[in-house]
Amino acid sequence: MNAYLLLSIAIISEVFGSSMLKASEGFRKLLPSIGVVAGLGVAFYSLSLSLQNIPLGTAYAIWSGAGTALTATVGIVVYKESINVKKVLGLLLVIAGVAVMKLATDGAH
Mean pLDDT score, 69-84: 94
Tell me, what's the pLDDT at 31? 98
What is the count of structural domains for the chain? 1
User: What 3 state SS string does the chain have?
Assistant: CCHHHHHHHHHHHHHHHHHHHHHCCCCCCHHHHHHHHHHHHHHHHHHHHHCCCCCHHHHHHHHHHHHHHHHHHHHHHCCCCCCCHHHHHHHHHHHHHHHHHHHHHHCCC
Domain boundaries, position 58:
3-106
**Confidence band of 100 (pLDDT split at 50, 70, 90):** confident
**Confidence band of 1 (pLDDT split at 50, 70, 90):** confident
Q: Residue 67 above 80 pLDDT?
A: yes
